[in-house]
Amino acid sequence: MVTTMNTLNTNINLSNLKETLTDTFSAVELPNGCIKSENNTDSLGMQAKAVTDNILYFRVESDRIEPICTYIHKEWGYQLVLMFANDENEDELGTDLGYGLYYVFADKEYRILVTIKTVIGAAKPEVQSLSHTIQAAAGYEREIQDLFGIVPIGHPDAKRLVFHSNWPQGIYPLRKTFDVRSKLPMAKEEIRFRKVEGEGVFEIPVGPVHAGIIEPGHFRFSVAGEPIINLEAQLYYVHKGIEKLAEGQTLEKGLYLSERISGDETFANSLAYCQAIETISGSNVPERAEYMRVLFAELERLTSHLGDLGGVCLDAAYGFATFQFRMMRGWAYALADELCGMRFLRSVNTLGGMRKDFVKGKEASLIRQLEQIRSELEDTVSIVKSNSLFTDRVENTGILATPIAIDLNAVGPGGRASGVGYDVRRWFPYAAYDKLEVQIPEHNNGDINCRFNIKIEECFESIRLMVQAIETMPAGPVLEPITHVKPYHFAFGITEAPRGENIHWLMTGKNNTIYRYKIRTPSFCNWPALCYAVNGNIIPDFPLINKSFNLSYAGNDL
Amino acid sequence: MFNTLKKIIQYPRLTQEYPKIINSTANFIGQPVIHPERCCFCGACAQRCPSQAIAFDGAARRIGINYDQCVFCVLCEDVCQSGAIRMTHCFELAERSRAKLRPDGSVLTESAAAEPNTADAKPTLVIHEADVPAMADEALTGELKKHIMKVFGRSLQIREVDSGSCNACDYEINALNNPVNDIERLGISFVASPRHADMLLVTGTATRNMQQALVKTYQATPDPKLVVAVGACACSGGIFRDSYATNNGIDSLIPVDVYIPGCPPRPQAIIYGILKALERVE
Ligand code: SF4
Ligand code: SF4
């Protein structure tokens, strides 16, 4: 759950903020957490627990969207962190029927989330595009166009995103009228790639099936000689329709789906999902479970980072270091096995806490194994750092400049290496993170070396946090089961996945089902950043740059 | 350099000797097993199973798990009031046909799979004839089979294809190359091109956007070739069954020789499956 911190600053800001938005843009503040205000009481007549003060919702007319969002972004410098649509054409949702469009801005300094909502009538599904002023909106607008059929007017390049040439025109799967089990005929549309022309410019298509054991995606490089001058990534090869699959399912089934969004971010995703539901139900997660969640989340980060470090070394043909990191990763997996019997930390979280007390009686052995990984990591890092051949290869390669990182809302290690010192664990603390002090490494050269160093430092920090969590974990129960949630209520779940900020938005339906589940993993933000970072580098460095971000295709494509 | 050498000497050998020695100390989650004699036929597990893997018919008092669909989530063990379901540590589950992974030996057809997928819908009991393409057997029968074993001998080149996984299965395949599993000791290695491959190791549900690439990769692999489906997704669609964007298992597109259940299967379960395809294990 997102907790209110910095109360003083927040309050000053909040009243100003509300006033400006309501006066200047005639925005109407909406109740936080539910779709209609009369829904805010459950059958016992109890007022739903207010989530926090610093998560705000405003409703504006659709022609006001562009000015208000531009104002928030330009004047206040808030980042657009999420944008999504919701089919609110069901009679039970009240009178404001249509497609709800939500624009979520974050003030990362003062921990404020402002959501601007507008409703678009089903008769004319279109809205003014924001992409000219807010670069980060471009991807979301294309996504919404594909899934909901809402046209972003004036979008600079509104080509298909989610669907490839095989999807028929005019069918939008996230509309409620679309049946999830429909099998549509394969259409034949053209896919248009950005053309770079000039003397000596070549196009190199790569994928979707790549040479290594990795996920599928198609890359179009335009090169002039060796350097890359443009890269366009065609993703969504592993689009499985997860958001649609979740709709109408029980909250319990949603949990297992959320665990399978992206393999090595299982815990971060299931935690964000649980967080959203726990916020809606207003229940308190037992303290022991909160500490245990820190332990698991950090173990996942450690495992993931060790894999990435090994991957960068492998692509730089540095065999010894690769196998060192892989060995340590093997140890981290063994630790997960010992903890919960699942290497990918599945079936660990449940709604309201943890499925079992996984830690009891294992404390000493866990700490011993963590110490072993830590000392091995120290030795390995000192050997790698003294290898100048390796350092030469990674230094000043694949630079993501700070202004671009900010514009594209680059998150996680990818953003932190470029001077964006943002980490959900510090700014929107969840689980027990507000009780543990999280050190956030910062580098600002934005090259592979910085991302490599960030990940190394975060590995040490993860180990430290895990040891601290084990040592300070209070005794007690680990689960406060949630059996019933109110219909048509919504909440955010925000966690720091190994790859960065992970935002889920969930709205409940009738009988403890899911009405809408919006997932935005860090990879969605960082893919465009990667495409920028490769510009000017030579093709043989692409795998290395790609590995240093190590983005998830599954988490992006959903 | 000195430090590098020191490390190499410090860890002379980490590799586990699977399949010669089975390292069973770890307390991992394996196959769920139902003991029908203890079952009270309340149907709670079948109703809540997230991948609808439990075939249940209360009237006929029949119950069983479709292991090609099970995602090993432990929920059924947790909800069973009478203790009839137990998670075991068994991971050697790979089979040459999908029917063998099902309690009554038949494979759900697409029409049966199209039952309503909502919270309160009853899962159907597995019925109907197999929808596995007949080629799967054909490719592996008689002379051809002997030929494959003779050709591949003790060495095998694998091309991995992710046809729409969550990436966990791919990470487990990756783990075959780490020092713990070191699959090259079994004469098995991964290659970059399907043209060099004897076997395709396929993960994922064969999404709509990947199905063409999967079929093309299959066609680009020279004959004789083996196909191994890794994980619940590739076997049956797993948790992503019945979506507009997925297929219920890769065998609706290409013939499959061995199915490895799991979500994801552990690296040793994948080794077992590969060896099974090569008939090096029974
Ligand atoms: S362990 Fe398998 S059978 Fe049991 S509930 Fe989970 S998916 Fe269903
Ligand atoms: S079987 Fe499970 S682990 Fe494997 S790809 Fe599918 S969801 Fe992921």
Closest Cα in chain A, distance from residue B276 (Å): 21
* H-helix or E-strand spanning residue B159: strand B156-162
pLDDT of residue B138: 41
At residue A106 the predicted structure's pLDDT band, cuts being 50, 70 and 90, is confident
Neighbouring residues of A213: CB distance < 8 A, sequence distance ≥ 6:
B160, B170, B173, B174, B177, B190
Burial class of residue A30 (count of CB atoms within 10 Å of its CB; 0-12, 13-18, 19+): middle
Place A269 in a pLDDT band, splitting at 50, 70 and 90. Answer: very high
> Under an 8 A CB cutoff, do B244 and A173 touch?
yes
Q: What is the mean pLDDT of residues A53-68?
A: 83
Burial of residue A353, with CB atoms counted within 10 A of its CB: 0-12 exposed, 13-18 middle, 19 or more buried: buried
Q: For residue A526, is pLDDT > 50?
A: yes
User: Is the Cβ pair B117, A236 closer than 8 Å?
Assistant: no
Nearest to A279 by CA among A251, A300, A299: A251
In a mutational test of the pocket of ligand 1, which residue from B51, B63, B240 has the highest number of ligand atoms less than 8 Å from its CB?
B51
Residues of A in contact with B162 (CB under 8 A): 214-216, 238
Task: Measure CB to CB from residue B3 to each of A263, A330, A383 and give the nearest one.
Answer: A383
What percentage of chain A exceeds 90 in pLDDT? 9
Structure tokens at A266: 């299982």
What does the mean pLDDT of chain A come to? 84
What would the pLDDT profile of B204-216 be if each residue is shown by its tens digit? Answer: 988 888 888 888 8
Stretch A505-520: mean pLDDT: 89
CA–CA distance, A505 with A482 (Å, rounded to integer): 18
Mean of pLDDT values over B171-193: 84
Question: Which percentage of chain B shows pLDDT scores above 70?
Answer: 75
At residue A26, the pLDDT reads 76
Higher pLDDT, B11 or A440: A440
Q: CA separation (Å) from A75 to A72, A108, A158, B70? A: 6, 15, 27, 52
Task: Please say if the pLDDT value at position B116 is more than 70.
Answer: no
Phi, psi of A85, rounded to the nearest 5 degrees: -120, 165
CA distance B9 to chain A (A): 12
Highest averaged pLDDT of the listed ranges A469-473, B3-7, B106-110:
A469-473
Query: Are the CB atoms for B234 and B263 separated by under 8 Å?
Result: no
- Res A1: pLDDT: 37
Pocket test for ligand 1, best of B72, B78, B235, B240 (most atoms within 8 A of CB): B72
Q: Is A327 left (phi over 0), alpha (psi -120 to 50) or beta?
A: alpha
* Residue A341 buriedness (CB in 10 A; 0-12 / 13-18 / 19+): buried
Whole-number pLDDT of residue B124: 30
Q: How many Å separate Cα A295 from the centre of its chain?
A: 20
Contact predicate A303/A459, CB 8 Å: no
Q: What is the pLDDT of residue B123?
A: 32
A300 — contact with chain B (CB < 8 Å)? no
For residue B192, is pLDDT > 80?
yes
How many of the other CB atoms lie within 10 Å of CB of A71? 15
Distance CA B67, CA B236 (A): 9
Cα–Cα distance, B106 to B100 (Å, whole number): 8
Provide the pLDDT confidence category of residue B106 given band limits of 50, 70 and 90: low
Instruction: Kindly report, residue by residue over A204-235, the tens digit of the pLDDT.
Output: 888 788 888 888 888 888 888 888 888 888 88
Q: How confident is the model at residue B27, as a pLDDT?
A: 72
Which residue, by CA, sits nearest to atom 6 of ligand 2?
B233
Res. B120: pLDDT tops 50: no
- State yes or no: pLDDT of B17 exceeds 80: no
Write out residues with Cβ below 6 Å of ligand 2: A 260, 263; B 71, 165-166, 168-169, 203-204, 231-233, 238-239, 263-264
pLDDT in tens, A275-307: 888 888 888 888 888 899 999 999 999 999 999
What are the backbone dihedrals phi and psi of residue A322, each rounded to the nearest 5 degrees, phi first? Answer: -55, -50
- pLDDT interval class at A537 (50, 70, 90): confident
Question: Among all ligands shown, which has an atom nearest to the Cα of B51?
Answer: 1
Residue B148 pLDDT exceeds 70: no
Question: Given CB atoms, is A175 within the 8 Å cutoff of chain B?
Answer: no
| Rg value, chain B, Cα | 20
Residue B8, CA distances (Å) to A312, A327, B12, B243 in order: 20, 12, 6, 49
Structure tokens at A250: 């029980």
Cα–Cα–Cα angle for A175, A177, A181, nearest 5°?
95
A53 falls in which pLDDT band (50, 70, 90)? Answer: low
Q: Give the pLDDT band (50/70/90) at residue B222.
A: confident
Which amino acid is residue A509, in one-letter code? Answer: G
Helix (H) or strand (E) holding A489: none
Q: Which residue has the higher pLDDT, A110 or A249?
A: A249
Tell how far the Cα of B232 is from the centroid of ligand 2, in angstroms: 6
